[in-house]
């Protein structure tokens, strides 16, 4: 029997073949109904029936992004090398509501990352090859927004290249409903950093990605991002030292005070995860950070409807100690590579930072 880490990336065309057998969700509500549902879910005075109705509409709108997202993901798989990690995910409900709260003028209809595809490559050069390759490839989708957070990192230290496409098909109107899909292309080093931030955020129960939480912890990750940027010969984060010695000294001071590396190391060894030996398909990752246990539910590619229903039901429980996500991956190995924060697999981040310190 193969070991977990021995699973290979499947043939690029298999995802496309599988998609033809799937009963994909379609949009069942008007743009006005979707907008109203996005506003309603934020109200404190919602009745149970009003909340149920709003969630039905939101979940349908989110689930209907699965087909456009899969189409774009398959395209990216075909144009990248076999060792490139390409995964897709539908945005979590708490992330949707959190974003609507932070940006009250945003409409649910125009949220550009309900469907997200992540591409992880080896180098900066590879990032821009994927960007240019996808732009020049044959497709009908329309580029709506583009963000180069590598040449201009966010204040948090986040670095990646984002492209937002409006899905369009000449063959069918079923999904031509102003549906936006976000593509994130990042290097492994950038991914290691983002994973550590998400892991720390999960266990401190703070939205570190959104700049919320302990200021020293936020500063620590911004400094590490600049170290990693230097390693990749790219611009550093604004308001961080340009000299590596200054960066490292400040890192040491913060870590001595907050013991961040020790905390991350403890998180890494505390997790007990289920080793699910499956291949391509949909995975629901359910992380309980009270019991430190990760549960994994697997569904075949043709069972996207069932996976979505189970995912919606888990989210509807609204348990504060649970973090869950629905992901499509071509292998368990690629799932772990793309979402190591759910496995608390941040040993590479710890090793790199300790080497500097």
pLDDT in tens, 123-160: 999 999 999 999 999 899 999 999 999 999 999 999 99
DSSP per-residue string spanning 59-126:
HHHHHTTHHHHHHHHHHHHHHS-TTSEEEEEEPPHHHHHHHHHH-TT--GGG-TTSEEEEEEESSHHH
Q: How many domains does the chain have?
A: 1
**Is residue 19 situated within a structural domain?**
no
Q: Give the domain range for residue 172.
A: 24-356
Q: Which percentage of the chain shows pLDDT scores above 90?
A: 53
> Which domain CATH number covers 351?
3.30.460.10
178-193: per-residue pLDDT in tens? 999 999 999 999 999 9
8-20: per-residue pLDDT in tens? 233 334 444 444 4
Q: What pTM value is reported for the model?
A: 0.81
- C-alpha to C-alpha distance for 18 and 84, rounded to whole angstroms: 20
**Is residue 5 situated within a structural domain?**
no
Question: How does DSSP classify residue 272?
Answer: E
**Is residue 122 situated within a structural domain?**
yes
**Is residue 9 situated within a structural domain?**
no
């Amino acid at each position: 029997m193969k070991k977990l880490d021995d699973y290979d990336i499947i043939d690029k065309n298999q995802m496309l073949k599988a998609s033809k057998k799937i009963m994909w969700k379609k949009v069942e509500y008007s743009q006005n109904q979707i907008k109203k549902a996005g506003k309603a879910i934020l109200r404190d005075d919602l009745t149970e029936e009003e909340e149920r109705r709003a969630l039905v509409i939101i979940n349908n709108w989110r689930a209907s992004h699965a087909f456009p997202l899969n189409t774009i993901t398959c395209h990216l798989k075909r144009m990248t090398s076999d060792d490139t990690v390409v995964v897709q995910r539908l945005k979590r409900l708490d992330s949707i509501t959190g974003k609507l709260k932070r940006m009250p003028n945003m409409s649910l209809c125009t949220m550009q990352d309900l469907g997200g595809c992540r591409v992880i490559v080896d180098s900066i050069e590879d990032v821009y090859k994927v960007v240019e390759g996808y732009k020049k490839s044959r497709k009908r989708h329309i580029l709506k927004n583009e963000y180069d957070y590598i040449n201009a990192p966010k204040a948090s230290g986040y670095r990646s290249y984002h492209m937002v496409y409006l899905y369009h098909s000449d063959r069918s109107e079923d999904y031509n409903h102003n549906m936006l899909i976000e593509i994130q292309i990042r290097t492994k080093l950038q991914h290691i950093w983002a994973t550590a931030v998400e892991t720390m955020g999960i266990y401190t129960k703070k939205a570190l990605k959104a700049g919320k939480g302990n200021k020293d912890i936020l500063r620590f990750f911004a400094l590490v991002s600049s170290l990693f940027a230097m390693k990749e010969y790219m611009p550093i984060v604004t308001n961080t030292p340009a000299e590596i010695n200054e960066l490292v000294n400040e890192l040491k001071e913060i870590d001595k005070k907050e013991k961040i590396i020790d905390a991350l190391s403890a998180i890494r060894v505390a997790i007990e995860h289920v080793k699910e030996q499956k291949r391509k398909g949909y995975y629901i990752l359910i992380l309980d950070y009270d019991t430190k246990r990760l549960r994994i539910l697997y569904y075949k590619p043709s069972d996207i409807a069932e996976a979505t229903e189970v995912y919606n039901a888990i989210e509807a429980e609204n348990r504060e100690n649970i973090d869950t996500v629905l992901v499509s991956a071509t292998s368990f190995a690629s799932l772990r590579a793309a979402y190591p924060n759910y496995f608390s697999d941040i040993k590479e981040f710890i090793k790199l930072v300790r080497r500097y310190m």
